[in-house]
Amino acid sequence: MSLSRKDIEKYFRTKDSTVKNGIEQKASDDPFDNEALEGWSHSSVPLESMDSIDRKRFKRMPYQFALTSILIFTVSIGIIYFLKNKNEQAINKQQAEIKKPISKPIYKDTITAANLSPEQELIEPKTIKRNFQLKKENKSVSSSTAIQPDLTTQPLPIKKTNSIPSSVKRRVNLAKETYLQDFKVVDYRFYRSRPSANTNKEVLTGTPANSEISTNSTEESDNIVEISYVSFLERSLKDFGQNKFKDALNRFDLILETYPNDANALFYSALCLYNLNQFNLCEKRLLDLKNSKFTNFDEEQEWYLLLTYYSLHKDKQFVELRTQIIEAGGFYAKKAEKL
């Protein structure tokens, strides 16, 4: 639109034909302006009516501005509330996920600070091997040197003792044992059948093997890939013996996915957790080990649980368990006395 409000007012108020011709020429460039000028010329509406329209329009403007401002403010508040509510829901959901109990409460623990303990606090694998060997030798010596009473005419020998016999009762359910990498283990080959498995899944005859074997051939995809429990356990103990506690822990966790009560995996994974400064998780697994079927690790379980209580500063539990170990008079009794 080329004509302005001033042009229209000037056209109807001036009597100068030159000015009028100029405005008409200007309007002729735009058909809409030309028709508007002609329509206004033939109408009887005075120019003053435009002033009254302006007054009404400007009179309404404050109300329109106020309504627009209120509308914008309301919409802004709504958007802010919506975003805040959405953010709070996201935070609440995240917190709920954190508090949600884990379906497998132990064996999928997240290690937040898996750093090796200082050298003097490590449970050295070589120390564990040595303790196992000493216990083994002590048992063989005690059985070979046992005094056999003379049941002829001689009186029975009197056995002297310097201490009151232990009143601590222990559960006994020893399984067959073997040694892998010089570490004592329960030989589950005598007690365990091959776990059931579906096709298209990599499993062990004892442990999941997805971290051990990968199949690229489509021909093998319908078969079950297996690796023996003993082979997998031996490799795990090799990592443990080389102080690769994180790697060993991951492998023991795989065993526990298939066999949650596996005494070997519970015991050695607990020691991994101890050496990774995860004393609470270590305590949890050692307590689970106490509830396992076989008692081959019971003495070790009590001794390392005692060390764990010491590290956690659980004084009451430490004193009670230390007293129990000393009264039992087992292999770790003297070690407990020195703590």
pLDDT of res. 83? 77
Please, what is the angle between helix 315-328 and helix 298-312, to 10°? 150
Alpha-carbon distance 154 to 157, whole Å? 9
Predicted structure pTM score: 0.55
Neighbours of 36 (CB within 10 A): 15
Task: Compute the radius of gyration of the chain from its Cα atoms.
Answer: 45
Structural domains for the chain? 5-42 (no CATH), 119-138+172-214+221-338 (1.25.40.10)
Question: What torsion do the CA atoms of 7, 9, 12, 13 make, to the nearest 10 degrees?
Answer: -110
Alpha-carbon distance 73 to 20, whole Å? 49
Rounded alpha-carbon distances, angstroms, from residue 113 to 59, 109, 246, 275, 277: 71, 12, 11, 11, 7
Residue 128 · residue 304 · CB < 8 Å = no
pLDDT of res. 328? 92
pLDDT of res. 336? 93
Residue 218 · residue 199 · CB < 8 Å = no
Return the structure tokens found at 230.
Answer: 């003993």
Q: Mind listing the pLDDT tens digit of every residue in the chain (339 residues)?
A: 566 767 777 777 777 878 778 877 777 777 776 777 677 666 666 666 666 656 655 555 566 666 777 888 787 777 877 877 777 777 776 665 544 433 344 444 545 445 555 544 788 898 898 988 888 787 666 555 544 444 444 444 444 444 444 555 667 888 999 999 999 999 999 888 765 544 444 446 654 444 444 434 333 334 444 568 999 999 999 999 999 999 999 999 999 999 999 999 999 999 999 999 999 999 999 999 998 889 999 999 999 999 999 999 999 999 999 999 999 999 999 999 998
3-state secondary structure of 33: helix
Residue 184 · residue 132 · CB < 8 Å = yes
pLDDT of res. 310? 94
Nearest Cα residue to 38 out of 52, 27, 46, 54 = 27
pLDDT of res. 49? 61
Strands 177-180 and 183-186: antiparallel
3-state secondary structure of 46: coil
